[in-house]
Homo-oligomer: A and B are copies of this chain.
Amino acid sequence: MGKTLAVSPLAPASFPELPVISGVRFASAEAGVRYKNRTDVMLAVLAPGSTVAGVFTRSATRSAPVLDCQSKLAAGGGASDAGAAILVNSGNSNAFTGARGQTSVAELCMAAEKATGVPQSRIFTASTGVIGEPLPHERIVAKLDELTGNLSEDAIKGSARAIMTTDTFPKGACKSVTIDGKTVQIAGIAKGSGMIAPDMATMLVYIFTDAVVEQGALQSMLSSLTDRTFNCITVDSDTSTSDSLMLAATGASGVDASNSDAFRTALSDVMLDLAHQVVRDGEGATKFVEIRVTGAASDADAKVHGLAIANSPLVKTAIAGEDPNWGRVVMAIGKSGAAADRDLLSIWFGDVLVAEKGWVSPDYKEADGAAHMKGQDLVIRVDLGLGDGASTVWTCDLTHGYIDINADYRS
């Protein structure tokens, strides 16, 4: 792990008070996979009747646990009356570990079945940390009885801590929603700070609800909301081999939310909150940047432009330097590959109109742009003047801190 990192200046003031989600219990433990003197494994056990959905990295070199989760979900995830379990370790990603990686996953699932009574077909594992070193799964196996014995509905915060790697703060978010006069709860945790880019970076996210949501509806809700939340954030354009986002519905509230727009909106809010927290913990980040693109030829084009701006090292270093360098924004739009007409382009930093119709705005004063850049939460707005396509993406700046963390931490 090397040195201890200072908490990100963009971190929320505190971890939120997450509600109990009836039907799911948590535990964490110190298995000593790699780190010393901290928890590094979490177990969540879901009551019989729970449905589970997942979205995973699209990397062609994805890890053994990701492949295992995908094949189990593709097979329907087994009977939901069997309950389900999620077992996650930090410190070692069990990625690019060949046949041995698959053996580790099998050993973990077998041991978890034995300890929890949940069948292996409903046990989902994830590993995050160093790539290419064998996972000492026996250290986790040795902790399964302790974990099972400690399961508690109140222990979600401990799980948020156990899955951290280079994260500087644990991430949680929640929302309640009233459907037919009854309240359902949604609560989630996440880890991730580097290798963050669309298609799921080194990011693990687990979201739980006590609503009743039919399996197919749960998966389709999760997939479509991911495109507007986790796939709209980027720290460094790098995509990990291990990203996993899972959503489980215990049904304990007895309220069916399968077709509820209010539930969908609340879930989207929780996902966006967690996604923003991941960016706020971007390695070395000192600025949180929202990039709003409008007037594109299509929504897809708008997202291409937004991500080109968000991933440009020159834009990100200018932001770090508090330089309202709109020329680099123009450069990024130009290279993105999506449609743009230089002479129809307008750019704002915050509410300050910087450039319009292909040139600097006549009323623009550099001091106004510079004043906006001194803030911690920035908005860069671009209108392409071509159509109705729009997209918003989020990123952070590129600082010396990023180099410090990544030039000497083997992650």
- A residues contacting B by CB (< 8 A) are 57-62, 95-101, 130-133, 194-195, 197, 199, 236-241, 311-314, 317-318, 320-321, 323, 325-328, 330-336, 339-343, 345, 355, 357-360, 398-400, 402-403, 406-408, 410-411
Q: Which of A62, A311, A334, A339 has the most CB of B within 10 A?
A: A334
- Judging by beta carbons under 8 Å apart, are A331 and B408 in contact? no
A351 to chain B, nearest CB (A): 19
Closest B residue by C-beta to A133: B360
Tell me which of B98, B333, B400 contacts A400 (CB under 8 A).
B400
Q: Which residues of B contact A407 (CB under 8 A)?
A: 317-318, 320-321, 323, 399
- Judging by beta carbons under 8 Å apart, are B132 and A335 in contact? no
Tell me which of B99, B131, B194 contacts A330 (CB under 8 A).
B131
Tell me which of B130, B325, B360, B402 contacts A313 (CB under 8 A).
B402
Residue pairs across A and B with Cβ atoms less than 8 A apart, 11 shown, are A60-B341, A96-B327, A97-B358, A132-B360, A194-B314, A237-B311, A238-B313, A238-B335, A239-B334, A241-B330, A317-B402
- Judging by beta carbons under 8 Å apart, are B406 and A342 in contact? no
A36 to chain B, nearest CB (A): 21
A369 to chain B, nearest CB (A): 11
A88 to chain B, nearest CB (A): 19
Q: Which residues of B contact A398 (CB under 8 A)?
A: 313, 403
**Distance, CA A406 to CA B59, complexed state (A):** 31
**Distance, CA A255 to CA B289, complexed state (A):** 58
Q: A61-B340, A313-B238 are in contact. Are A132 and B355 (CB under 8 A)?
A: yes
Q: A62-B334, A355-B96 are in contact. Are A321 and B360 (CB under 8 A)?
A: no
Tell me which of B61, B97, B314, B408 contacts A345 (CB under 8 A).
B61
Q: A96-B330, A340-B61, A403-B398 are in contact. Are A313 and B236 (CB under 8 A)?
A: yes
Q: Which residues of B contact A241 (CB under 8 A)?
A: 330-331, 334
- Judging by beta carbons under 8 Å apart, are B400 and A325 in contact? no
- Judging by beta carbons under 8 Å apart, are B406 and A334 in contact? no
**Distance, CA A332 to CA B357, complexed state (A):** 38
Q: Which residues of B contact A312 (CB under 8 A)?
A: 237-238
A49 to chain B, nearest CB (A): 36
Q: Which of A57, A131, A327, A341 has the most CB of B within 10 A?
A: A327
A208 to chain B, nearest CB (A): 29
- Judging by beta carbons under 8 Å apart, are B131 and A342 in contact? no
**Distance, CA A410 to CA B328, complexed state (A):** 9
- Judging by beta carbons under 8 Å apart, are A331 and B195 in contact? yes
- Judging by beta carbons under 8 Å apart, are B334 and A59 in contact? yes
Q: Which residues of B contact A237 (CB under 8 A)?
A: 311-313
A209 to chain B, nearest CB (A): 31
- Judging by beta carbons under 8 Å apart, are A60 and B334 in contact? yes
Q: Which residues of B contact A97 (CB under 8 A)?
A: 358-359
A22 to chain B, nearest CB (A): 38
**Distance, CA A331 to CA B241, complexed state (A):** 6
Closest B residue by C-beta to A408: B321
Q: Which residues of B contact A98 (CB under 8 A)?
A: 343, 357-359
A383 to chain B, nearest CB (A): 14
Q: A130-B327, A327-B130 are in contact. Are A96 and B340 (CB under 8 A)?
A: no
